[in-house]
Amino acid sequence: MELWLNLISRWTHIGTAIVILGGSIFLRFVLTPAAADLPEAEHLALRQRVLARWKRCVHGGIALFLLSGFYNYFRAMPLHKGEGLYHALLGIKMLLAFAVFLLASGLVGKSRLFEPLRANSKRWLLITILLAAGVVLISGYLKVALPGNRPL
């Protein structure tokens, strides 16, 4: 049973990363440039429709990341007792992930606090993508280079 729970948690975490990071890359490098050629009214209408749907993916993805991430965290901690580099990198990864969550939520939300981000969404979406890529790079390093002192 524990094996299946571990697999489901890992698949959920990686699958969510694929959808959210891949979707963000699509928005920034495919949809945004293609929509730029539309007349202003059509552009705004498309933007509203896309963001309404994308918001559900972002918020659902954050929830799945938190659930699977905390499960994976508590499962991995006994395997890395006393490994300072692992804990330091994991801490950086988590801080970057929370920054990604904040920026992604701000870009799809309606809060006035994040209006400057939405006004320059191309730049902030790129920053979000780069931070998320950093999370993925750190995650891969932790999994491959620092797999723990006991097999899963």
Closest Cα to residue 47, out of 56, 59, 58, 38? 38
Q: Are 128 and 104 in contact (CB under 8 A)?
A: yes
Q: Are 12 and 68 in contact (CB under 8 A)?
A: yes
Whole-prediction pTM: 0.92
The model's pLDDT over 103-143, given as tens digits with 9 standing for 90+, comes to 999 999 999 999 999 999 999 999 999 999 999 999 999 99
Q: Which amino acid is at 63?
A: A
The model's pLDDT over 31-80, given as tens digits with 9 standing for 90+, comes to 999 999 999 999 999 999 999 999 999 999 999 999 999 999 999 999 99
